[in-house]
Amino acid sequence: MPGAVVVAAMVFVVVAGAGGGWLLARGGTHHPKAAASPSASGVPSGTPDRTGDDKSSPSAPASASPGATVPAGYQLAQDPKGFRLYVPQGWTREDQGPKGVFYNSADRTRLIQVYLVSEAGLSPYDALKQTSGELAKNPGYQEISLGNDATVPGVAPGAARLVYAYDNQELGHRRQVVDYAFLTPGGRHYAVLSAAPAEVWPEQEQTLKTALSVFCSGADCPSP
């Protein structure tokens, strides 16, 4: 796809946990839990929302340098937070601070969430395991799978992967989320997830794999 690409919208994240599964209430990341009172959504303020729900207002899209071959229907996004990924065309970006960055579809039923895991000493697997445990209190929560042998092409051969579902009462549908946690070559611990209605699975998985196929952060990113 020629020319500079514009970053598109993101979605809703799970309930906060130490790992990468906050999409349930999710806007989540692996950030340390702050002592805070619960928010209206039931997710403690100060912790990433991993249920895949985005509550913020969209900001202007970020631009990126053109890639060699951008997949059809996607745009290359160079995020102001210092990471790069592919985002579906027409999605909009929302920065929720400690909850991470969301890219949401126009109808807000689908999203990608990116956040840094800040708890010291947690492996990607442990982060997602802790997240799943914390998400268990959400309506209809089901851990579908949790593994330690996933691959993020070009980033991490030993990523952890969590797949879960829950009942999204705000959107009125059952939601399924896939969440990857991994260390970049530069040592940053990221969790990146994709959420969508459960009935369209495995669309979420393919969206996330495409997004991560060029993922990089900071000095790890090649020059344009």
pLDDT at 151: 82
> 82-132: per-residue pLDDT in tens?
999 999 999 999 999 989 999 999 999 999 999 999 888 899 999 999 999
Contact 19, 129 (CB under 8 A): yes
First to last CA, the chain: 15
Higher pLDDT, 3 or 194: 194
Q: Is the pLDDT of residue 23 over 70?
A: no
Closest CA to 152 of 160, 140, 143: 160
Per-residue pLDDT at 17:
38
- Burial (CB count <10 Å: 0-12, 13-18, 19+), residue 7: buried
The band of 48, judged by pLDDT with boundaries at 50, 70 and 90, is very low
pLDDT tens readout for residues 49-77: 555 555 454 543 444 444 458 999 999 99
DSSP character string of the chain: --S-EE--B---EE---SSS-TBTS----SPPPP---B-TTSSBTTS--EEEE--S---PPPEEPPPSSPPTTEEEEE-TTSEEEEEETT-EEEE-GGG-EEEE-TTSS-EEEEEE---TT--HHHHHHHHHHHHTTSTT-EEEEEEEEEEETTTEEEEEEEEEEEEETTTTEEEEEEEEEEE-TT--EEEEEEEEEGGGTTHHHHHHHHHHTT-EEGGGSPP-
C-alpha 51: how far from its chain's center? Answer: 10
Beta pairing partners, 173: 168
pTM given for the model = 0.74
